[in-house]
Amino acid sequence: MTLQPLAPGAATSALPPLAVQGLAFSWPGGKQALQGCELQIPRPGLWMLVGSNGSGKSTLLRLIAGLLQPCGGAIHTGLKPALVFQNPDHQLLLPSCASDLQLGLPPGLPAAQRLARVEMALEQVGLAGLGGRPIHTLSGGQKQRLAIAGALATDAQLLLLDEPTALLDPTSQQEVIQLIRRLCSREQAPLTALWITHRLEELDHCDGAARMAAGRIGPWQSGAALRVGLTPLPGGRAER
Ligand SMILES: Nc1ncnc2c1ncn2[C@@H]1O[C@H](COP(=O)(O)OP(=O)(O)O)[C@@H](O)[C@H]1O
Ligand SMILES: [Mg+2]
């Protein structure tokens, strides 16, 4: 069982947004990607994971999203998850912004509500009025914000972001991180985001950061404290 949703109406405020206990996962080839993996996100906010290539970060996000089934352990969350990938071209499917967002809406919504939801999602990510724009005319940063709008339109409350700024220029990178920061800090229903990064400067924006190595996650630290322990690589990156 990947996700163990809470009963409808359960008081979620008292429970952590996400708890991962003793998670284990092996790829069919026999590669053990996660073993005894523990993670607790204590409250809504922006939480970051850093770790070298192959340490199991993407596998963990896919397990939390329910795309993979664990071999052992459990994932507890009352939140609806949504994945945001490094390359938005891998998740934007339909030609215009609005049609792509419509794709993720729950079925059975009346047309007026569908339209309103799409417009609200676009507005939340700073793309108001661009519903009719062909996706191929958007910049990389705008595409990534559209992918985030897609998550918002589905009512996701747990954003799983797998190096979402790795392909972006510095300005777009800032726009995306500020957007997620805002969504995770808003007074009304703040979101929970689990963000994987190799960019050291992004750690300055998080509520907590942890290191992942060989399929396990260390304790939460401040972004600044984690930075101290990391060796920067050329270009300000770490743990590639
Ligand atoms: N589709 C796959 N099939 C087989 N092994 C995989 C697959 N994806 C990842 N792995 C293996 O699982 C381990 C963890 O990979 P991954 O979760 O992608 O790490 P990270 O995101 O931290 O770089 C690695 O050893 C990787 O080779
Ligand atoms: Mg990865």
What confidence score (pLDDT) does residue 81 get? Answer: 97
Per-chain mean pLDDT for the chain:
91
113 in any annotated domain = no
Ligand 1: residues with CB < 6 A are 27, 29, 31, 33, 51, 53-59
134: enclosing H helix or E strand: none
What confidence score (pLDDT) does residue 8 get? Answer: 43
Pairing state of beta strands 232-233 and 81-84? unpaired
CA of 51, nearest ligand number: 1
> What is the Å distance from ligand 2's center to 111 Cα?
38
Closest protein CA for atom 12 of ligand 1:
33
Provide the percentage of residues in the chain whose pLDDT is more than 90. Answer: 80
229: enclosing H helix or E strand: none
Closest protein CA for atom 7 of ligand 1:
27
4 in any annotated domain = no
201 in any annotated domain = yes
What confidence score (pLDDT) does residue 234 get? Answer: 57
Domain enclosing residue 49, as ranges: 16-79+157-231
Q: What is the pLDDT along the chain (240 residues), one digit of tens a residue?
A: 344 444 444 444 578 999 999 999 999 988 899 999 999 999 999 999 999 999 999 999 999 999 999 999 999 999 999 999 999 988 888 889 999 999 889 888 999 999 999 999 999 999 999 999 999 999 999 999 999 999 999 999 999 999 999 999 999 999 999 999 999 999 999 999 999 999 999 999 999 999 999 999 999 999 999 998 886 655 656 665
Closest protein CA for atom 26 of ligand 1:
54
46 in any annotated domain = yes
Spatial distance between the Cα atoms of 176 and 69, rounded to a whole number of angstroms: 30
169 in any annotated domain = yes
In contact, 52 and 240? CB cutoff 8 Å: yes
Spatial distance between the Cα atoms of 204 and 178, rounded to a whole number of angstroms: 11
Domain count, the chain: 1
CATH number at residue 196: 3.40.50.300
Surface-to-core class of residue 182, CB atoms within 10 Å of its CB (0-12 exposed, 13-18 middle, 19+ buried): middle
122 in any annotated domain = no
> What is the Å distance from ligand 2's center to 212 Cα?
11
What confidence score (pLDDT) does residue 233 get? Answer: 59
Pick from 120, 95, 84: which is nearest to 105 by CA?
Answer: 120
Give me the count of residues in the chain. Answer: 240
87 in any annotated domain = no
In contact, 36 and 196? CB cutoff 8 Å: no
Helices within 14-83 (DSSP H only): 57-65
112 in any annotated domain = no
CA of 35, nearest ligand number: 1
